[in-house]
Structure 1
Amino acid sequence: MAGPSNATAPPPPPPPPPPAVLAAPVAVLDPRYCVDYPVDMTITQKALSLTDGDYSIVDINGNVLFKVKGKVLSIHGQRALIDAAGNTVLTMRGKIRSMHDRWKIFRGVSTDQKDLLFSVKKSKFIQLKTQLNVYLATNTSETVPDFQVRGNRHERSCTIYLGESNSNVIIAQMREQYTFKNVISGRDMFGVTVYPKVDYAFIAALIIILDDIDHSEEA
């Protein structure tokens, strides 16, 4: 009879570093979206079809922060981030199914280069784990990203970092949420924690873009 195995389970991966205490607000769109406490958001895809793919974004109390509307399954997908008062605060325009799935994000309803706030693209064409580089409009050389989104496609989770690829400065985290209603309806639902002094409208836009890129690769 074989004796007991000496094999031991591999140690669990180390937890991510705690969020850094930021000296200055990370205000990409507007300082009014930077507050001194964490913001917990729930992002839910409302439509069953990717051709419309509307999202709602609410806070921990169920208050509407933003809505997202637009078409994505075209050569140039375009979405609008709309605040609770009905104002378009961001326009997200992307060339999906391209080499790096590049998106450009503009202030308000504009798509003019002068109103560009930031752009997002995959760091590599083929990825085992999702990694998006984010460049502010002022970073014209795009040698080093200003932010990075690192995700686990299998777990539908991601962490957003300030700075380049070896940065450990966390500014937000997202994980897919599962409820009986969402599983039955086939809707996506994400829980997002935005850390203090970080522009939560900016983070909401990044999560929507990440979800669109993941869906475009699954289609």
Structure 2
Amino acid sequence: MMMMLMEGTTISVNDIYGDQWFKVRGKMLSLRDRRVLFDVADNPLVTFQHKLLTAHRRWIAYRGDSTDENDVLFTVRQSSLIQVTSDSKTKLEVFMAHNMAKEGNGVCDFYVKGSCCETSCDIFIGGTKTMIAQMHRSQSFFSAYLGKDNFTMSIRPNVDYAFIVSLVVILEEINSERKRQELVIKSCGLFG
């Protein structure tokens, strides 16, 4: 079991004993919403960033602090072009680097199913119902007031923790982007 605390652009990932395993830092003024996952010794493990000008919301994850095409680990995209309202479930498809050529076929290596209210998600092996991880948001009034989000993650044995943490952070970024778009739509009076 892992605990994840999001505060602004910094995320801390700890085990149930409070020992830090990872931290995620974001760039404040990043056009691509770049994030870097570090181990406790401050070594960059994974860099992930939003890919601009794509039909599906798409993120690319790279090895270490690289953003070179030769260091791509995996890509994440929304399974559907239209996932606009907050009551719809977010569904993501994950393609490992060796499988990216099949991305157009929808044959993903893993998939993520978020809940309606963005309070949880389940991560599965592609094409199966085999769950490898779960995330649950546990937010109190006090943490909401302070702008902090708390998550608990259950990850099956032999599953890469850094991979799962990266997917959960990307899911949260996609959900945050969708909320910002909903605010713009509502403020323009386009819907309801």
What is the TM-score normalised by the length of structure 2?
Answer: 0.85
- The separation in 2 between residues aligned to 1:73 and 1:154, in whole angstroms, is 28
- Contact 2:118–2:175 (CA<8 Å) still a contact in 1? no
Partner of 2:33: 77
**From 88, 95, 98, the counterpart of 1:135:** 95
1:156 and 2:116 correspond: no
What are the superposed Cα offsets for residues 100-137 of structure 1, whole Å, 9 maximum, x if unpaired?
Answer: 11000000011111111100000001122110000000
- Contact 1:77–1:96 (CA<8 Å) still a contact in 2? no
More helix by percentage: 2
- Runs of 5+ consecutive residues of structure 1 not aligned to the other structure: 1-39, 48-52
- Contact 1:96–1:216 (CA<8 Å) still a contact in 2? no
Partner of 2:155: 194
> Which structure is larger by alpha-carbon Rg, 1 or 2?
1
- Runs of 5+ consecutive residues of structure 2 not aligned to the other structure: 181-192
Partner of 1:95: 51
User: SS of 1:76's equivalent?
Assistant: coil
Counterpart residue identity of residue 67, structure 1: K
Partner of 2:168: 207
Q: Which stretch has the larger CA shift, 94-103 or 62-71?
A: 94-103
**From 35, 60, 69, the counterpart of 1:113:** 69
Q: Cα distance, 1:43 vs. partner?
A: 1.1
Counterpart residue identity of residue 154, structure 1: C
Distance 1:109 1:181, change over 3 A: same
Structure 1 segments, 4+ long, off by >6 Å, are none
What are the superposed Cα offsets for residues 151-201 of structure 1, whole Å, 9 maximum, x if unpaired?
Answer: 11414211000012xx21000001101234312212111111001111111
Partner of 1:58: 14
User: SS of 1:92's equivalent?
Assistant: strand
Q: Which stretch has the larger CA shift, 179-188 or 146-155?
A: 179-188
User: SS of 1:138's equivalent?
Assistant: helix
Distance 1:90 1:185, change over 3 A: same
- Contact 1:77–1:95 (CA<8 Å) still a contact in 2? no
Distance 1:64 1:119, change over 3 A: same
Counterpart residue identity of residue 57, structure 1: V
- The separation in 2 between residues aligned to 1:206 and 1:96, in whole angstroms, is 18
Q: Cα distance, 1:98 vs. partner?
A: 4.7
Counterpart residue identity of residue 150, structure 2: M
What are the superposed Cα offsets for residues 40-71 of structure 1, whole Å, 9 maximum, x if unpaired?
Answer: 11111122xxxxx1111111111111111113
User: SS of 1:62's equivalent?
Assistant: coil
What is the TM-score normalised by the length of structure 1?
Answer: 0.75
- The separation in 2 between residues aligned to 1:174 and 1:73, in whole angstroms, is 28
User: SS of 1:217's equivalent?
Assistant: helix
1:41 and 2:2 correspond: yes
RMSD (Å), alpha carbons: 1.6
- Contact 1:43–1:57 (CA<8 Å) still a contact in 2? yes
